[in-house]
Amino acid sequence: MTFKNHSSNILVYGAPKSGTTLTLRLLDSQYILSHPTEVKIKDFDYLISKIRSRNINDQIKNKFFNMGKKKLNQTELKFLNKKIFYIKNLNDYILLTLDLFKMIYGIKKKKRYLIKEVGGNPNKIISDFFSVSPKGLVVAVVRNPVNTSYALFDHYKKTNFNQFKIFKSVAKNFINNYLLLKECRKRKNDSRFYIFSYEKIIENPSLFFKDCFKFNIIPKKTKQKITQNGLPYKVDTASVKRSSHKVFRKKLNLKKFNKFERIFVKLLSLIFKNTVNDIKNSINNSKNTFLKIS
């Protein structure tokens, strides 16, 4: 069994702090789309092990099914308790997530669902998505790994992470970026796979929307009124730059990062430099890369 209305579901995928949330919000600005926040495909094996051992507590339920809320309420937990032990595979998990999402937000009509995932093994996550949604679409968001690393340092400094854990997470994320680029090269001619550059989305959001309409990521059958530049009236492209991450909004100010952080990012970029450049050149020559990656 695959997704109901599976041909219209979309997976937005990228490394952490690479622009997946921004891309999701842009696509969701169209009233025909709706998203159940981040679906943790990469952690599904952990969830299924807990289900099989009947060791499911409220903390795990909120981790996998919170729909962007801090906590599920008693009605939502009761609904989840009836269904959760029937999950046998990834398809069951995503269908239950969508059912819960519809219940929480009172959605009655069928909509095109946006599913977001970050990090993990790109090959496994994308393959898993296509296995349950063979006619679905993947929107891969690629950002310059150096910019992503600095954005992560900026993000983790506001948390209680210790220094070792922060450096480990940044390195892990850099490798995830590299693996995603390799996956983009592998799937660059797959008609279900679309590659967008975060930097280019920020630079010119109008092009992003035009490509989404042109290639039916946002269906043309929508009844929205279109402006002279080919965009729907509802699209507020000016807000895109305002909502982009502050590390990217201005030129990177390396002075705000300490010496060890700068050296660490430089070392990571040097290790992968030649390979990443070769992959980027290959991807940019693909017919599925709509906004060239830098």
Q: Assess if residue 30 is contained within a domain.
A: yes
Residue 13: closest CA among 123, 161, 155: 123
3-class secondary structure, 82 = helix
pLDDT higher than threshold 60 for residue 292: no
Q: What span, in angstroms and rounded, lies between the C-alpha atoms of 208 and 35?
A: 19
Please give the average per-residue pLDDT across 185-206, as a whole number.
81
Q: What is the dihedral of CA 246, 217, 95, 52, to 10 degrees?
A: -60
Q: Which residues pair with 114 in a beta bridge?
A: 10
Tell me how far CA of residue 61 lies from CA of 2, 34, 80, 153, 221, in angstroms.
23, 21, 8, 29, 37
pLDDT higher than threshold 60 for residue 293: no
Please give the average per-residue pLDDT across 100-112, as a whole number.
71
3-class secondary structure, 153 = helix
State the pLDDT at residue 32. 56
Residue 142: closest CA among 15, 286, 271, 274: 15
Q: Assess if residue 294 is contained within a domain.
A: no
Q: Are strands 33-34 and 112-118 parallel, antiparallel or unpaired?
A: parallel
State the pLDDT at residue 289. 59
State the pLDDT at residue 236. 57
Please give the average per-residue pLDDT across 13-21, as a whole number.
86
Q: Assess if residue 285 is contained within a domain.
A: no
Question: For 144-182, what is each residue's pLDDT tens digit?
Answer: 888 888 888 888 877 767 788 888 888 888 888 888 888
Q: At what angle do helices 58-65 and 90-105 cross, to 10 degrees?
A: 80
pLDDT higher than threshold 80 for residue 276: no
What are the structure tokens assigned to 43, written together? 């952690």
pLDDT grade, residue 111 (50/70/90)?
low
Question: For 213-232, what is each residue's pLDDT tens digit?
Answer: 777 777 665 545 555 555 55
Q: Which domain holds residue 211?
A: 6-144+190-249
Whose structure tokens read 């430089």? Answer: 266
Alpha-helical (H) ranges within the chain are 20-28, 44-52, 58-65, 74-83, 90-105, 122-132, 145-156, 163-186, 198-203, 205-214, 238-243, 246-249, 259-284
Q: Assess if residue 274 is contained within a domain.
A: no
Q: Assess if residue 273 is contained within a domain.
A: no
Residue 115: closest CA among 188, 132, 103, 47: 132
pLDDT higher than threshold 50 for residue 86: yes
Q: At what angle do helices 259-284 and 145-156 cross, to 10 degrees?
A: 140
State the pLDDT at residue 198. 85
Q: Assess if residue 201 is contained within a domain.
A: yes
Q: Assess if residue 23 is contained within a domain.
A: yes
Residue 94: closest CA among 46, 133, 49: 133
Domain count, the chain: 1
Contact between residue 151 and residue 23 where contact means Cβ atoms under 8 Å apart: no
Q: Which contiguous run of DSSP H or E holds residue 262? A: helix 259-284
Q: What span, in angstroms and rounded, lies between the C-alpha atoms of 162 and 166?
A: 6
CA 178 to the chain's CA centroid: 16
pLDDT higher than threshold 50 for residue 5: no
3-class secondary structure, 157 = coil
pLDDT grade, residue 134 (50/70/90)?
confident
Q: Assess if residue 1 is contained within a domain.
A: no
Higher pLDDT, 221 or 130: 130
Q: What span, in angstroms and rounded, lies between the C-alpha atoms of 34 and 25?
A: 9
Identify the CATH number of the domain in which residue 214 sits: 3.40.50
